[in-house]
Structure 1
Amino acid sequence: MDFKSMSLGFVTLLCLVWPIVSQSSMPAVPDGFWYGEAAAEEKVLIEAFFDPVCPDSRDSWPPLKQVVDEFASRVRLVVHTFPLPYHDNAFATSRALHITNKLNTSATYHVLEAFFHHQELFYGKATFNKSKAVVTDHIVDFTAKALGSSYHSAIKSGFNDTNTDHATRYAFKYGCLRGVYGTPFFFVNGFPLADAGSAINYKGWRKLLDPLVSKQGRYLQQQLLHSL
């Protein structure tokens, strides 16, 4: 069994045996980064669990973004970070996203895309001989470049803020509680999709969402008629 398989087994074990979190350890707000506005319950809800340095997460984002933008009036999306233990710097880059979201929610997806476009800078091979402090400084600089240089000190301070560490841990624990064991991992209206860990292309998303959106449209029409 290779290291990746062993790590997957470890994540799966965590998902199976992780205890129910106590009330005192629950986050103050629900986890996740909303794409656009978190609105109407009548919309089809897509939940995506991504690792910023996961190639499959990177490849799954463009078609998902395209279909969500097309169905903006009928579909809503929330992304959760799920840093995989066998991806170097997954936790730190995920933490950078939580820091960004705290500073400027409208820029979170821009920073996520920046990590996706330049993942190779944070792979194990690129950072193997660097200390944790040096890598963290590199992530701070990279995030500030994507977010804006005026945020540099706030981003650096964010890595010294235990709240951002806890938020990143909560996101991982939340994924475990939901049964997530790899990335990308998707739920639609609360139901997990098959083929976890594989990117879904545009045609795949359209095949999945078209009938749901049609049913939703008929439901909303019926609700409107009943209200007249």
Structure 2
Amino acid sequence: MLVQRLLYVVVMAMACGTPSGGLNVPNRPLGFFFGGPPQSPSVEVVAYLDITCPDSKAVYPTLLMVASNYKPSQVQLRVHLFSMPFHRHSHTLSKAALVLDLYQPNGDTAFKWMSLVYSNIDSLSTSGTYKQSDEEVLNLITNLARNLTGIKEDTFVEKVKDTSIDQMTRLDFKYGCTRGVYAVPSFTINDIFTDASTWTFDQWKTFLDSLLQ
């Protein structure tokens, strides 16, 4: 518990630098919405994930199964990428998710990117890249992005380094801090935090179906 509290203090300190009245207002909704643009669903499932976190990777396939089981007007999954400070490349990979989502705004590009990153998590983790420079890792990330979407390498690198992309990605992280998020994965269902990290698909379905009745 002490470690979690200390981590929360560190995370909140990293979120400093915004106006005292609150966060800057973004020009688009924060997070990534499964199945297309934001709906007005009966139930909204929000997941806070770190894109290079093994625990986030473990829950991700189940989340996709759950989201695919419903129409977005019934249940819509929204993912906020919450980069923990001890995962060296999470912020860059989160920026890449936004770049690709804007490059191919079809509702599933960011989720395909998350799946691809999780499938390559060993080569993108802090321990897996400790002998590589940031530029070398960026080259690896660029190749993955190109293979997934066809985006040109120079375009991708330029966008990942773009200040507006960086600010939007930081804003999503800071938003999580304002919600009290300090560990991943974390979940809310209709804005209420729910300890669902160990739920199976059947447990998710039973719970969500009860809300839809």
Show the 5 A alignment for 1:47-196.
Answer: 47-72=46-71, 73-106=73-106, 107-148=109-150, 150-194=151-195
Structure-1 separation of matches of 2:126 and 2:201? 30
Change (3 A) 1:158 1:34: same
Provide Cα deviations, 1:61-98, integer angstroms capped at 9, x if missing partner: 11121122112251111111100111121111111101
Task: Name stretches of at least 5 consecutive residues in structure 2 with no aligned partner.
Answer: none
Deviation at 1:151, TM superposition (A): 3.3
Deviation at 1:11, TM superposition (A): 4.5
Change (3 A) 1:24 1:189: closer
Change (3 A) 1:153 1:202: same
Deviation at 1:208, TM superposition (A): 1.9
Aligned to 1:225: none
* TM-score with structure 1 setting the length: 0.81
Task: Name stretches of at least 5 consecutive residues in structure 1 with no aligned partner.
Answer: 215-228
* TM-score with structure 2 setting the length: 0.86
Change (3 A) 1:109 1:16: closer
Aligned to 1:30: 29
Percent of pairs with identical residues: 26
Deviation at 1:178, TM superposition (A): 1.0
Tell me, what secondary structure is at the counterpart of 2:61? helix
Structure-1 separation of matches of 2:149 and 2:41? 33
Change (3 A) 1:184 1:20: farther
Structure-1 separation of matches of 2:61 and 2:176? 22
Q: How many residues matched?
A: 210
Structure-2 separation of matches of 1:24 and 1:180? 16
Which structure is higher in helix share?
Answer: 1
Deviation at 1:16, TM superposition (A): 9.8
Structure-1 separation of matches of 2:204 and 2:10? 27
Show the 5 A alignment for 1:12-23.
Answer: 13-14=12-13, 22=21
Structure-2 separation of matches of 1:18 and 1:200? 36
Structure-1 separation of matches of 2:29 and 2:9? 25
Provide Cα deviations, 1:188-223, integer angstroms capped at 9, x if missing partner: 11111126xx34321221232121011xxxxxxxxx
Q: RMSD of the TM alignment (CA)?
A: 2.7
Contact 1:15 1:176 in 2 (8 A): no
